[in-house]
Structure 1
């Protein structure tokens, strides 16, 4: 997936401002695809130049002006093309590239206490992230009501289930790793 396809997917549900897109993206997609606000706006400009979306400036008297983005037919075609393309990203999904795991791999060069602390911090992050998925469920409920298509929100739920399994696996792994190192300390 690329950021542009995620934004096209969100815009396919309806026109939004950059602020609304940023908020929707972070509420629903951020646990598996991160994007900074500046990246989102940069991508929106590029997609408008490609003709995948249009924007309309809305002048407001009591608030700052805003720009409302709308997907075009070309943008819808690009989204469908991407969704229909062979799943080459499945292979990418099967590979792990993690600086953290590289650090764990070489942690034998440090003290067990230092390694335990690192693993406990990772475990805490997994817990926090897992609890943060409630935001994704709230987003599914909120945006599902806007889209009025239960079929689409089922797919959103399936992705959040992956997030739950991912963080559960992280918790299970750290519990086992911590137990191994604590046993080594008692050894």
Structure 2
């Protein structure tokens, strides 16, 4: 912790006898205090638990959450940014999708996919699909929820997002969905 007169006390003793000089230097100390406080907080700016709200929203864009709703309460924004940062390495995987759905919905999520690892020649004919189910979209509207989730599904994977028994998003076009196949939409 710095002394309230940290800049003034660094001056030679002879200069401290001049009241005008001490008051004049205090003006600069006041400006330097704000700079020093900013420097003291640099290490915490990347920590969403303590960073200023504006910084948390800036960090969202930095890790790819460009669509973070500005009307989202600050506490919820911190939760989404923290969870997204923690699952960034898992993005596009079953684990990453499950965690994203749980954070956004505030409840349990089920993710079933056709992915896996197989020996050469033993892969199923259509492994690129995922079906995600939640009970609620949490604080987000269904279209906003679906937009965030759609951004998390790999581009080559066909996906379906269900809220309870209702399909709210699919990456499959209606004509392709009617044509049969495996995975989501092929019931």
Q: Same fold (TM over 0.5)?
A: no
Q: Comparing both chains, which one has the higher relative contact order based on Cα–Cα distances under 8 Å and sequence gaps of 6 or more? A: 1
Larger Rg over CA atoms: 2
Higher helix share: 1
TM-score (norm 2): 0.21
Higher strand share: 2
TM-score (norm 1): 0.21
